[in-house]
Amino acid sequence: MDTAGLAGIPLTAGLSDERLRWLARVCPERRFAAGTAPVRQGESASTVLLVTRGRLTAVHETASGERLRCPDAVAPCAVDKAAVLHAADHPYTWTAVEDVTARVMSRQVLAELLATEPSVRDHALRFLSAEVLRARWGRIDDHGADGLRRVSRWLSAAHRGTGGCDIALPGGQQGLAEELGLSRVTVNRALAVLSGRGTVRVRRGRVEVRDPRGLTVTD
């Protein structure tokens, strides 16, 4: 039984070969074509997707029709652990950007791993701690940071995370605006300022970072 994909997912990477084989037996493999939504906003969060191939994007639609986006989930990864751990409804609709292969892990299996596998428990604690800190910094940004600072911080984090200068925008400038809670016009103006300073070069759906240090100087 193929367990290579599961071994690459941070949540399950610390499991023994025997435990990975067990996980592959109890978590059926599913394939989702590009454009389909395996997880929908408002549905009960009872399973985690262990994504071994592909990419998904997540969007929350508010009652007023606004669209809020969170960072894409790129294999290997586990999708919506937080909602499943909380036994809540899914806050986002997750849509396959490209063909996706994933194993479906029930809440019961996740609970067993958390109870018996220290590596899974440690990863979950680190993940939840990071989510709390990200939410706190997000509140600070909402009250004090303008669009230029927020776009610059996002680009700086993406640059550090990828280790490269060519950064794909999630859903283009509109997608980045939805992720940051800004308007597309604000994102466009911020990128224009950074481009005028020589910090970045803006292309269709992508940004080339030319001066990473310039992303930390936005006054």
pLDDT digits 0-9 by tens, 188-218: 999 999 999 999 999 988 999 998 888 876 5
What value does the mean pLDDT take over residues 75-84?
92
pLDDT digits 0-9 by tens, 120-157: 999 999 988 888 887 777 666 655 568 888 899 889 88
Strand partners, 208: 166, 201
Phi, psi angle pair for 206, to nearest 5°: -145, 160
What percent of the chain shows pLDDT beyond 90?
Answer: 55
CA distances from 57 to 40, 96, 130 (A): 12, 6, 20
> Cα-Cα-Cα-Cα dihedral of 159, 162, 164, 168, to 10°?
-80
User: pLDDT grade, residue 219 (50/70/90)?
Assistant: very low
pLDDT digits 0-9 by tens, 86-110: 888 899 999 999 999 999 999 999 9
Domains along the chain with CATH numbers: 4-118 (2.60.120.10), 143-216 (1.10.10.10)
pLDDT at 139: 66
* Crossing angle of the two packed helices 118-144 and 107-116, in degrees rounded to 10: 110
- Please name the residues in contact with 102: beta carbons below 8 A apart, sequence gap of 6 or more: 29, 30, 31, 32, 38, 49, 50, 51, 52, 53, 54, 79
